[in-house]
Structure 1
Amino acid sequence: MRTIINKIKTLTFSILFIVALLGCNSKNKDKESIKDAQRVASQNVLSSVIDSIHSEINDGDYGLIDRFMVIQNDELLADFKYKQDYETIVQKYDTTNHQYNFNSTDWHPYYKQTELHTLQSVTKSITSILLGITLDLNEDYNVDNKVMPLLTGYDTYFLDKRKQNISIKDLLTMRSGIQWNEETDHNDTTNDCFRLESSDNWVEYVLSKPMDTIPGTRFVYNGGGTVLLGKIIRTITGKRIDDWAEEKLFEPLGITDYYWKETPDGEIDTEGGLYLKAEDLAKIGSLFLNKGKWNGKQIVSESWVTTSTSPLLKNVKPHWKSVTGYGYQWWIPEYTDNDKTNIYSANGYGGQYLMIAPKHNLIIVFNGWNINNDPEQSTYRALQDRIIPALKNK
């Protein structure tokens, strides 16, 4: 009798367990179905906004756009290519064939009729990544190191004690204290970037500039500081930055096709000279969205990614529409009161943008070449003003 009762108890328990398990599976399936439905709804809303932007690009509202890509949750949602007749467009401008003449169609916006697109100052953000990898692999160096000992052979330019106190971090955050004017039109002959790119020795040009403030105290946009970062990478690694990039960044990410301008003195243009395909630029975005990992391998440390894309400096461009922060050569156009980054981006002259919204697992790539006329609408605002609000209000 007791055996029968025990068997009944065992059977009852098994039935209850199965019922409970089925209930759990049902709930899990319901949750997954809800998530799937939410994902589909989100992508439908996003697709509608993307189509609207694409239509406006075709109508010319955004000026000269060459590429528009949208990636969410590792899925390519949009990839539009636009054909522009640059040969005809630039006929009224000086087209002398020189790599720093922005109206030379051999060099801009594509490199010699290939798919390699100029990135301009997006190059600075990639230089920052390469510096991060350098410091990750060389424990004797960090962002607090002074730059003077790392720029050997230029001692005579460091007579000003303020210049002796410039740190790597000061260069990364555009607070070197070096007198610099890069806010005027790029073709203005008083613009320091124009003068830098016209000089025979870029490092010497930057270091020859006087100091006008104490390092680490004031944000002044300065591409010359990024030139110094490239030289520092070479000092620490013993390799020119293009070779370092190929070994430590491009090859791991499967980037096999690129071009990087060389300066007259045999260095590499780390402030604006890199060309990549849009697909490969998107890989840089994916690397950062995944906190420095690629295919399970840590390419650059998570801490470098986090710090680089945090608003270390606040409201660096008061005249801009949004309250924009700045990290390690990355812009942060939207962040919360407690400094949580909602959007960060790599920005380049003419309309080069790699924009990332971590909360939405979203990557936007724009390539354009609006250098002679201002378009009616700005691709830089598309993510913050068009796409994110649509996702919030779905």
Structure 2
Amino acid sequence: MIKTLSFLTLFIITLIGCNSKNKESIKDTQKATSQNALSAVIDSIHSDINNGYYGLIDRFMVIKNDELLADFKYGQDYESIFKKYDTTNHQYNFNSTDWHPYYKETELHTLQSVTKSITSILVGIALVLNKDYNVSNKAMPLLNDTHITPKDKRKQNISIEDLLTMRSGLQWNEETDHNDTTNDCYRLESSDNWIDYVLSKPMDTIPGTTFVYNGGGTVLLGKIIRTITNKRIDHWAEEKLFEPLGITDYYWKETPDGEIDTEGGLYLKAEDLAKIGSLLLNKGKWNGKQIVSESWVTTSTSPLLKNVKPQWRNVTGYGYQWWIPKYTDNGKTNIYSANGYGGQYLMMAPEDNLIIIFNGWNINDEPQKSTYSVLQDRIIPTLKKK
């Protein structure tokens, strides 16, 4: 189990040759060969990052079998890079260096929509500890202090699970540029009351039928956690997730109406994000204690929805706020991932007990290569070679 992760700038674990007095076994030879191949591909990725092929990368980590294999930090001069853009200092200006990519010159890195996946974990903990609720519960009764009175009966039928799987049926446009003033995420973040903004949207499909990427639904999940637990999600997270994992340094944006930005407002150190990954790979356990139920981990990281993004290269599935970029025909998850704007990735390959983390801030220019494909296209094939 990862207890504390190193802050070393360059750290790659390599195997040392076996004792010459003992003949190396075939198994040890294969392990050494595999390890050497993995080290080589990690070095190659690191070289490509330094050469700019992946754009603006701040951190790259590889963890296998709970061992830190690589940890690279990259220094970027964001003050100079952002000079040609509007750098007005407010938290929703992505070119404001007080807020992005690091929070006010600390090690805390914006996670953007990786926040959604962590919100899902907190929903799972809340439902397990409060047996009167489950994913089938309707959302509207749990949003009881909203100023919106739904006239469309379909809105009354939105369940917690519909929000988790982004099938609320609410009309929502989040597929355009974040600076597009018609983008619902832009409008949400510009509003004074986020809950009311989401619930004011009209319905365009029956809940539970159609996947539409919708950060507003995750905002509702944060409010639902508060209703179920009587605690705002940041306090719930500190008590039930962060404190047990030894995460003491974090920041979470507060919305104008006194709620917490559960769709993109969490900042963590990469070392602490790795703890989240390790928790899930260990089926919800940390130091022998069950933090989130194994069944929740399994369900939320399974491709409950198939091929939700047919325009993407990968046949991508979706679980409870987790992307499933690779899965088998019978629904077995090969890779699952928390993805965030600008290049935030927490990617896990359960079969290989592998975690990959990227922090970056590619928001103004598209790089030649995407870090999202590193695990599937470069690292996994190396591990599968005989």
Q: TM-score range by the shorter chain?
A: over 0.9
Measured against aligned partners, the alpha-carbon deviations of 1:300-331 in whole angstroms (never above 9, x if no partner) come to 00000000000000000000000000000000
Q: Partners of 2:350 and 2:378 in 1: how far apart? A: 16
Q: Partners of 1:103 and 1:139 in 2: how far apart? A: 43
Q: Which residue of 1 aligns with 2:339?
A: 347
2:59 corresponds to 1:55:
no
CA 1:125/1:276 → structure 2, altered by over 3 Å: closer, same or farther? same
Offset at 1:41? 2.3
Q: Which residue of 1 aligns with 2:220?
A: 228
In the alignment, residue 164 of structure 1 is paired with which amino acid? Answer: Q
Q: Partners of 1:285 and 1:249 in 2: how far apart? A: 12
2:245 corresponds to 1:253:
yes
Q: Which residue of 2 aligns with 1:218?
A: 210
Q: Which residue of 2 aligns with 1:317?
A: 309
User: Over alpha carbons, which structure has the higher Rg?
Assistant: 1
* 3-state DSSP of counterpart to 2:32: helix
Which runs of structure 2 are paired with 1:39-188 in the superposition (5 Å)?
39-154=31-146, 156-188=148-180
Offset at 1:155? 6.6
Q: Which residue of 2 aligns with 1:389?
A: 381
In the alignment, residue 299 of structure 2 is paired with which amino acid? Answer: T
Offset at 1:38? 3.3
Q: Partners of 1:202 and 1:37 in 2: how far apart? A: 57
Identity %: 85
Offset at 1:225? 0.1
Structure 1 residue ranges without an equivalent (≥5): 1-29
In the alignment, residue 157 of structure 2 is paired with which amino acid? Answer: N
Q: Which residue of 1 aligns with 2:283?
A: 291
2:369 corresponds to 1:377:
yes
In the alignment, residue 209 of structure 2 is paired with which amino acid? Answer: T
* 3-state DSSP of counterpart to 2:149: helix
In the alignment, residue 291 of structure 1 is paired with which amino acid? Answer: K
Offset at 1:266? 0.7
* 3-state DSSP of counterpart to 1:219: coil
Q: Partners of 1:49 and 1:178 in 2: how far apart? A: 44
Q: Which residue of 1 aligns with 2:357?
A: 365
Q: Partners of 2:26 and 2:235 in 1: how far apart? A: 48
Measured against aligned partners, the alpha-carbon deviations of 1:143-187 in whole angstroms (never above 9, x if no partner) come to 000001100023743221000000000000000000000000000
Offset at 1:98? 0.2
Structure 2 residue ranges without an equivalent (≥5): 1-21
Offset at 1:363? 0.2
Structure 1 contact 148–155 (Cα < 8 Å) conserved: no
Q: Partners of 2:241 and 2:76 in 1: how far apart? A: 31
Measured against aligned partners, the alpha-carbon deviations of 1:60-86 in whole angstroms (never above 9, x if no partner) come to 000000000000011111000000000
Structure 2 contact 322–338 (Cα < 8 Å) conserved: yes
Offset at 1:91? 0.4
* 3-state DSSP of counterpart to 1:243: helix
CA 1:155/1:36 → structure 2, altered by over 3 Å: closer, same or farther? farther
Q: Partners of 1:100 and 1:39 in 2: how far apart? A: 47
Q: Partners of 1:289 and 1:36 in 2: how far apart? A: 25
Structure 2 contact 174–183 (Cα < 8 Å) conserved: yes
Q: Which residue of 2 aligns with 1:243?
A: 235
Offset at 1:390? 1.1
Across the aligned residues of Structure 1 and Structure 2, the Cα RMSD in angstroms comes to: 1.2
Q: Partners of 1:34 and 1:269 in 2: how far apart? A: 52
Q: Partners of 1:160 and 1:175 in 2: how far apart? A: 16
TM-score (norm 1): 0.91
* 3-state DSSP of counterpart to 2:244: helix
TM-score (norm 2): 0.93
2:207 corresponds to 1:207:
no
- Higher helix fraction (1 or 2): 1
